[in-house]
Amino acid sequence: MSEAPLWKVAVDAPLPEALTYAQAPDLTSFRRGQLVTVPLGKGNRSTKGLILGRCTSVVPNNAKLKSILHLDQDYPTLSEPFVKWIEWLSNYYIYPIGRVAQLAYPPLRKQEKPRKSNRSPVIPSEQIESPPLMTEEQARCVNAISQFKNFSSHLVFGVTGSGKTEIYLRLLEKVLNEGKSGVVLVPEISLTPQLIQRFARRFGDKIAAIHSQLTDRERTNQWWDLIEGRKSILIGARSALFCPLPNVGMIIVDEEHEPSYKQDEKLKYHGRDAAVMLAKFIDCPIVLGSATPSLETWKNALDGKYQLHQLKSRVANRALPTITVVDLRDQKSSEELQQQSKEKYSNLPFWLTPTLYEKIQETLKNNDQVALFLNRRGVAQMIICPACGHTRECPNCDINLTLHAQSHLICHYCDYHENLKEHCPDCKEGHLEAIGLGTELLEKDLAKLFPGHKISRADRDEIQNRSELETLISEMETGEIDILVGTQMIAKGLDFPKLKLVGLVLADVGFNLPDFRATERSFQLITQMSGRSGRHVREGEDPGAVIVQTFNPEHESLIFAQKNDFIGFASHELSTRAQLNYPPSGKLLGFRIQGSKLSNVESAARLLSKRAQSLKSQFTQYQRVEILGPAEAPLAKLRGQFRFHLLIKGNQASSLNSFARQTMGDEDWVPSGIRIIIDVDPINLL
């Protein structure tokens, strides 16, 4: 055995386990949670690694162990609860521990002398405001949660506009008074200046923010402000969880139902679930908030794992908006109606019903604002040749190209684009025609119908950075914009005083996706979007209005959303899921098999399935594991990669986890050029 102490180090490399290193004689002893630099592989290559502790296993005498090069003293030692959480993430999501550990550090080294920046500050300086009076429901909720000092999970389930943010602010006030710090997670899409301003008006310069719209230098500076105690409240997207904030007294996850909390690449963790586990290791309360909780969270509340706190009314008893469903099939039915409609509404584009048109006119006449929602960008979803049926598809992805600006065809997945040709490239005779609907077309048509009004569009084509979003929000707040057209970017968390009408142009967009969560997502989106309307109506005023255009008025998500009945919806959907053992009744784990040659991907998928079936038949503990597939993914080709899925279902996360590890084995059987990616608790099955 080597005389020098041996250490287990989680190195920043795609390795399933930590490696063993010797301690160089000139280095002092290490502690678990310290960052070190170690040699890796051949030559002079070195990388960062996290010390996990002393190596207790026996190392053969003839083993040539490399020594740790040096201790990186610039960074603080990670606390024991935080290291345990990193180990849990690596184990649960089946991802290399060294890669997980590196997420705990900022992107750049510390800057000793701050340089001047032309960008607006991450946190604006705001005049401190005194808090408003709380409603009875808010006060009851704050008092109930404040009783808990140790780990406990709380669901704040309140209708849109019921004042959940005020509850978070009050709870954080108490946390700060105890000399502790707090973490607030919001979906990336909701990280608007509006939200950050609201926190800044209450807590002044105690706030830091970490999210993807910041530069690497801004992220690094915010990280150090928190670590060194200059700031004590961290607001951020899911990645903010990895900032090893000292002395955390509470974690809050707003809009906990949002699918964007799940990361789709690399470490496929779920921000909400990871936050609950972090709170457990740190031993502090965690608060999850939503008007439309995920069924996973709702079941935990029903089962008593989470404390339920309900807010049934909007602040100041403002009325919830009235929801009108317009059946698009009726527009096509009676000939007499069609004739009348043609005469009176001959100027209307195909996507706009008379009901919605009349309501837009009325709202604008009252100097109020309108928001139209459609979850599709561009002018049209599809370009087709009527002569031969040829459609323009992306050469890298199994998906139609979308028409933008009447002249560019773009793939929304890999960003491939080409110019729109007049003649069909296939039969050389037909003229290519645009079919379908997108936000860009809506904006164009509305400009013709309402020439004197300002119309703005909010989607990923139009809003690409923080300052563009800030401009849009301030123009909505001051009433400069009359009609806002947007994708789901405008459905979340925004609060505009003059917004009185919300129109869902085609609610059916998400109804029939090949995903068992499609109905739940549709319900959430319809309810959340509706919740933007009439948030500031006074008593006696007409409530806000919501008009939903659809070909499926009898769809469950619509029926329950119209009655604002989340509890009824959840009960119906939970019983459907239980019959099929889908989450939250059962657990799900997905394998994605991908590569550039279809036949190789298909045979690798079959081989993986064979290994899984064989494992299931050999071990009794896996008898109840269900294997679904392999099958082509709904998006069968993306960015030049062919994709197959294999899903496994079971009742226990731990048994699915070990089943997946054993199925993969040491991976020496995986053909070259093939990648197999494991997704624990998948959210996106496309």
DSSP, residue by residue, 541-600: SPPPEEEEEES-TT-HHHHHHHTT-HHHHHHHHHHHHHHHT-TTTSEEEEEEEEES-HHH
Q: Which two tokens stand for residue 291?
A: 């008007």
Q: Judging by DSSP bridges, how do beta strands 233-236 and 181-185 pair with one another?
A: parallel
- Residues forming a β-bridge with 18: none
Q: Please, what CATH class does the domain formed by 136-315 belong to?
A: alpha beta
Distance CA 10, CA 573 (A): 42
* SS3 label, residue 611: helix
pLDDT exceeds cutoff 80 at 685: yes
Q: Judging by DSSP bridges, how do beta strands 369-373 and 483-486 pair with one another?
A: parallel
Report the range of poorest mean pLDDT among 175-189, 293-307, 458-472, 628-642: 458-472
Q: What is the pLDDT of residues 446-499, one digit of tens each?
A: 999 999 999 998 877 767 666 777 788 889 889 999 999 988 777 666 778 899
User: Which amino acid appears at position 568 of this protein?
Assistant: G
pLDDT value at position 195? 84
Q: What is the pLDDT of residues 372-419, one digit of tens each?
A: 998 876 666 678 888 888 888 888 988 888 888 778 888 888 889 889
Distant-in-sequence contacts of 111-119, Cβ < 8 A, 24+ apart: 111/217, 111/220, 111/221, 114/221, 117/217, 119/215, 119/218
Q: Count the neighbouring beta carbons within 10 Å of the beta carbon of residue 383.
A: 23
Report the range of poorest mean pLDDT among 196-200, 297-301, 446-450: 196-200
Q: Which two tokens stand for residue 665?
A: 């084995």
Q: Which residue has the higher pLDDT, 476 or 101?
A: 101
pLDDT value at position 533? 86
Distance CA 385, CA 391 (A): 7
Report the range of poorest mean pLDDT among 3-12, 371-380, 478-487, 552-561: 371-380
Q: Which two tokens stand for residue 174?
A: 């108490």
pLDDT value at position 568? 96
Distance CA 214, CA 193 (A): 13
What would the 3-class secondary structure string for 220-266 be?
A: HHHHHHHHCCCCCEEEECHHHHHCCCCCEEEEEEECCCCHHHECCCC
Distance CA 488, CA 502 (A): 13
How many angstroms separate the Cα of 572 from the Cα of each of 119, 451, 579?
49, 45, 11
The residue written with tokens 């002044």 in the block is 204
CB-CB contact of 492 with 355 (8 Å): no
Q: Which two tokens stand for residue 587?
A: 């657990």
Distance CA 154, CA 300 (A): 10
Domain ranges in the chain are 6-78, 136-315, 322-376+438-572, 379-436, 587-680
Distance CA 197, CA 619 (A): 56
pLDDT exceeds cutoff 90 at 316: no
Q: What is the mean pLDDT of residues 490-519?
A: 83
Mean pLDDT over all residues of the chain? Answer: 90
pLDDT value at position 257? 95
CB-CB contact of 331 with 353 (8 Å): yes
Distance CA 434, CA 452 (A): 28
The most confident of 155-169, 531-545, 600-614, by mean pLDDT: 600-614
pLDDT exceeds cutoff 50 at 517: yes
Q: What is the mean pLDDT of residues 438-448?
A: 91
Of the pLDDT bands very low, low, confident and very high (cuts 50, 70, 90), residue 314 is confident
Q: Helix axis angle, 193-203 relative to 164-177, nearest 10°?
A: 40
Two domains, one topology: 136-315 and 587-680: no
Q: What is the pLDDT of residues 232-251, one digit of tens each?
A: 999 999 999 999 999 999 99
Q: Count the neighbouring beta carbons within 10 Å of the beta carbon of residue 260.
A: 18
pTM, two decimal places: 0.92
pLDDT value at position 390? 84
Q: Count the neighbouring beta carbons within 10 Å of the beta carbon of residue 357.
A: 18
pLDDT value at position 44? 87
Q: What is the mean pLDDT of residues 432-450?
A: 88
Q: What is the pLDDT of residues 520-550, one digit of tens each?
A: 999 998 898 888 887 877 776 788 899 999 9
Phi, psi torsion values for 184, nearest 5 degrees: -120, 115
pLDDT exceeds cutoff 90 at 510: no
CATH no. of 587-680: 3.30.70.600
CB-CB contact of 439 with 457 (8 Å): yes
pLDDT value at position 118? 67
Q: What is the mean pLDDT of residues 171-180?
A: 97
> Could you tell me the strand order of the sheet in which 70-71 lies?
19-22, 6-11, 46-54, 35-39, 70-71
Q: What is the mean pLDDT of residues 567-583?
A: 95
Q: Pick the closest to residue 167 from 136, 196, 190 (CA basis).
A: 136
pLDDT value at position 581? 93
pLDDT value at position 62? 67
* CATH architecture under which domain 322-376+438-572 falls: 3-Layer(aba) Sandwich (3.40)
pLDDT value at position 162? 87
pLDDT exceeds cutoff 70 at 117: no
Cα 472 off chain centre by:
22
Q: Which residues contact 578 (CB under 8 A, 6 or more apart)?
A: 585
Q: What is the pLDDT of residues 318-360, one digit of tens each?
A: 888 899 999 988 655 566 666 666 678 888 998 999 999 999 9
DSSP, residue by residue, 388-399: T--B-B-SSSSS
Q: Count the neighbouring beta carbons within 10 Å of the beta carbon of residue 428.
A: 10
Q: Pick the closest to residue 356 from 239, 465, 472, 446 (CA basis).
A: 446
Distance CA 100, CA 521 (A): 29
Report the range of poorest mean pLDDT among 34-48, 332-346, 426-440: 332-346
Q: Judging by DSSP bridges, how do beta strands 587-595 and 545-550 pair with one another?
A: unpaired
Of the pLDDT bands very low, low, confident and very high (cuts 50, 70, 90), residue 620 is very high
User: What percentage of the chain reaches a pLDDT higher than 90?
Assistant: 64
Q: What is the mean pLDDT of residues 501-511?
A: 88
Q: Pick the closest to residue 276 from 267, 268, 286 (CA basis).
A: 286
Of the pLDDT bands very low, low, confident and very high (cuts 50, 70, 90), residue 2 is very low
The residue written with tokens 């969880």 in the block is 241
* Buried-state track 315-350, b at ≥16 Cβ within 10 A, e below 16: beebebbebebbbbeebeeeeeeeeeeeeeeeebee
The residue written with tokens 């919605």 in the block is 356
